[in-house]
Amino acid sequence: MKETSPSVDAINEAVAINSNALTDDKAGSPEDRSAQTDGMEHHEELAEQSRADETLEEKTSEHRSKYSDDGFWKKTTKYAKKAGEKTLSPALRLYYSAQDSDTPTWAKTTIYGALGYFISPVDALPDITPALGYTDDIGILAGAIAVVAAHIKDEHSNKAKETLKRWFN
């Protein structure tokens, strides 16, 4: 079962309560005040982590809005022969990794960004440019693979190989 993070507001409220307790003359012994300070620091860390999680989710949503399964499959099937296995292999490995529930959100964000670039009609080098058209896509996909390599399982690579075999054989 997934553990949920406390809300930023709840954490901030707890920090405020602890801050007030620290300045209160009735706060107790120095040991009590030290324990309260430690608790307040822990709450601040939780609040910071919660804000980071929210920011990561916003970025994932932003990349996800530029990427779609439909757009991915349209481009890969339409341009499979032209793009070739060298371009499609990393794209498919990333795609299957992103579909895996074990892949962490930060890795999916990286993957969706790379696949979004791959399916985008606007490229640094237009895909129709002879001999160079997919080199920018390969670079972006290779960079994403380098970052998330630990989350690309053998099963993702095998699915990519099976798909390529169906398309090219």
136 in the same domain as 73: yes
Q: What is the pLDDT of residues 37-53, one digit of tens each?
A: 555 676 677 677 767 66
Query: What is the number of structural domains in the chain?
Result: 2
Q: Which domain holds residue 40?
A: 8-63
Higher pLDDT, 83 or 15: 83
164 in the same domain as 86: yes
109 in the same domain as 42: no
Tokens for 29, please give them.
Answer: 């012994």
Q: What is the CA radius of gyration of the chain?
A: 24
Residue-wise over 132-152: b if at least 16 C-beta within 10 A, else e? ebbebbbebbeebbeebeebb
Domain edge (last residue) among 63, 89, 104: 63
164 in the same domain as 92: yes
3 state SS of 63: helix
102 in the same domain as 162: yes
Q: What is the pLDDT of residues 82-125, one digit of tens each?
A: 777 888 899 999 999 999 999 999 999 999 999 988 877 666 56
